[in-house]
Amino acid sequence: MHKDELTPHGGDLVARALARSGVRTLFTLCGGHISPILTAAHTLGLEVTDVRDEAAAVFAAEALGRLTGTAGVAVLTAGPGLTNGITALQNARLSHSAIVVMIGAVPTLLRGRGALQDVDQAAAARPFVKQFTRVERRRDLAPAVTRALCTAVMGAPGPVVVECPVDVLYPDALVREWYSGMSEPRGSLLQRARHWYVDRHVGRLLADGGTSGEVARTAGPQGEAPSSRDVGAAAESLRRATKPVLVLGSQAARPDVEPTVRAVERLGVPVYLAGSARGLLGREHPLLLRHHRREALHEADWVLLAGVPLDFRMGYGRQIPRSATVVAVNLARELLLLNRRPTVRIHAAPGSLLQALAAQGAGGTLPAAWLEQLRARDRAREGEIATAARERVLPLTPVALCRAVDAALPGDACIVVDGGDFVATAAYTVRPPRPLAWLDAGPFGTLGAGAGYILGAHATGRFGEIWALFGDGSLGFALSEFHTFVRRRVPLVAVVGNDGRWAEIGREQEKILGDPVATELGWTDYHRVVEGFGARGFLLDDPAEVPRVLAEASRIARAGTPVLINAHIGVSEFRRGAIAM
C-alpha cells in the first residue's frame, strides 16, 4: 500500500479534531477548497448541514453556540464564501456568540498571484472576529482547530476564523501533482532552483501530517468570576436601594441557567429581560416586567445591567438618572464604560455575579409598593395591547395575530424572529415558554438571520417545534432555505406578517420625506413559493381562520414538514416607532 494511502489528509485532521472536541454538527455551503473537511466529517458521522447561502451557515452556527454554550462550527469556501458570511460574523461578534468558522484558501504558493477566489481573507475578516488564524502547515491544523474552539467560548464569547489553504487539506499525492504541474521543465540553474524551492515548500507543508490529529477535548465556556470586593460593593449598594431594577441580557442566558434563575428569585428585584434572556423566568413570573422599562429606569435608584451595554437600546445611558447607583457586569471589558461610567463596574460573567449577590443575602427586602407600581403599569399596557388587538384592520390585525401565535405556541417550541415592524409588534405580545427559547439578531439589527437560526435551533435536538416570525421583507433572505428545511425535515411553523412593504422603514420615510420609494413589495404569494421547495403553504387573510390554521400548521410541522403561513396583515396604529439611531 502506498504511503499516501495511509497518511490522513488535512480534511481528516480537521474532522478528527472537531469530533474529539465534542463537535457533532457543522454548517456549510460546499466548495472545492473545503471538500476534504466535509467528506471527512461525514465519514466520521458528524452531521453536515448544507445551506443555500454562506451567511445562513454562520447564523446557524451562532444559534447553536448560543443555545448550547459551546462553539458552533461553519465551514466556508474561499473568497466569496467568506465575504458572503461577514455580516453574520459581525452579528456574532456584537452578540457575543461563540462560533468557529473554517475557511478554505488558495494554495499557499499562489497567494496574491491571481488564483481562483483569492482575496486577503485576513484583512477581510479580522475587524469582525475575536481571532484569525492562518494555518501554513498540515501538522498545525488540529491544534489550530482545538485552540479556536477554546478561544471562541473563553471570556466574552465571539467568532474565530481558521484559514485552511487548499494544499494543506488535500491528499499528499494530489498536492505534489499540483505543484509539479506548476514547475517548468528542469534545465537551467534558475529552473533547478525553482524546483528545489517548490519541493522544499511542499515537504514543509505536508510534514508530519499523520501524527497531528491527537488533541485534547476543549474546555467549556469560562468567564471571569467577580472579586469579593466587587460583590461586596454591589451587595451593599443593593441593600440601600428602595427602587432597584435588574436588566438581564443575553450573557445571563447560558445553558447552565437554573442557578441564575434561582439567584434572581432570591434577590427579589424587578426584572426586565432583553435579547436571548427572554424566557429566562418563563411566561409568567411575579418579578418579570415586560413594559415601560424606560420609565422604570428613570425612576430607579439602583440598576444592575447584567450583560447589557448602554448602547442605543438603553438610550446611551440617558434613561437612568445620574443620582442612581449603576452596577454593570459584562464579559466584554470594553462595554463596561460605553457611554457612561457605572458606579460599580465588574468584568465577570453576569450569572456568577447574580449568584454571588444572592449568596450574600443581598436584596429580598424590597418595598412592596415599588414592585406593585411597576406591575400596575404592566397591567395597563397589557390592557392597551388587548384594545389594539380589537382594532379593525383588514385583512388581519397584526396585534391580534401575534396574540394568537402566543396562545398557540407549544411548551417545547423555540421562537425565532427576523424582521422589523411585525417582529417589533411580536416582541410585545409573544412570550417564550422557557429559557433559551428565543432567538433574535441582537444589537446589529441584522435582517436575514432567521433561516440560519432555525437550522441552529433544530440542530440542538431540544425543540419539538420551531416557530419563526418573519416580516415579508426579511423573508426574502430566507426563502431559498426552505429547501434546506424540507431536506432536513425541520418541524417549522413560519408565520409571515405580509403587508406588502418594508413597513418600519416605509412608514417613517413617507412621513418625513414624503416618498415611499424602494419600500413597497406587493402582495407576493410566499405560500406558493415554499410549496415549490416541498414545504406546506397557507394563505391566511380571514381572522376567523387564524386558530384553525395555526393548529393545523403545528400538526403538520411536528410530523416533519415545514410550514409557511402567509398572513396578510393591515396597517395598524399600534406601531408608530421612530428611526433607531
Mean pLDDT of the chain: 92
Q: What is the dihedral of CA 55, 56, 61, 62, to 10 degrees?
A: 70
Domains of the chain, CATH where assigned: 3-211 (3.40.50.970), 228-369 (3.40.50.1220), 390-568 (3.40.50.970)
The one-character DSSP state at 303 is: E
Residue 198 is predicted with a pLDDT of: 81
Q: Is 145 left (phi over 0), alpha (psi -120 to 50) or beta?
A: alpha
CA atoms within 13 A on the CB side of 311: 16
Whether the per-residue pLDDT at 209 is higher than 60: the answer is no
365 or 494, higher pLDDT:
494
The average pLDDT across 323-332 equals 96
CA distances from 9 to 34, 210, 216, 411, 428 (A): 12, 8, 20, 46, 52
Picking from 383, 63, 352, the residue whose alpha carbon sits closest to that of residue 225 is 352
Cα–Cα dist 309/337, whole Å: 9
C-alpha cell at 238: 443593593
What sections of 154-292 are H helices per DSSP? 166-169, 172-182, 189-206, 228-240, 258-267
pLDDT in tens, 415-431: 999 999 999 999 999 99
Cα–Cα dist 92/456, whole Å: 13
Picking from 33, 96, 35, the residue whose alpha carbon sits closest to that of residue 69 is 96
For residues 113 and 182, the answer to whether their CB atoms sit within 8 Å is no
pLDDT in tens, 470-508: 999 999 999 999 999 999 999 999 999 999 999 989 988
Cα–Cα dist 323/396, whole Å: 46
pLDDT in tens, 443-473: 998 999 999 999 999 999 999 999 999 999 9
Cα–Cα dist 205/452, whole Å: 35
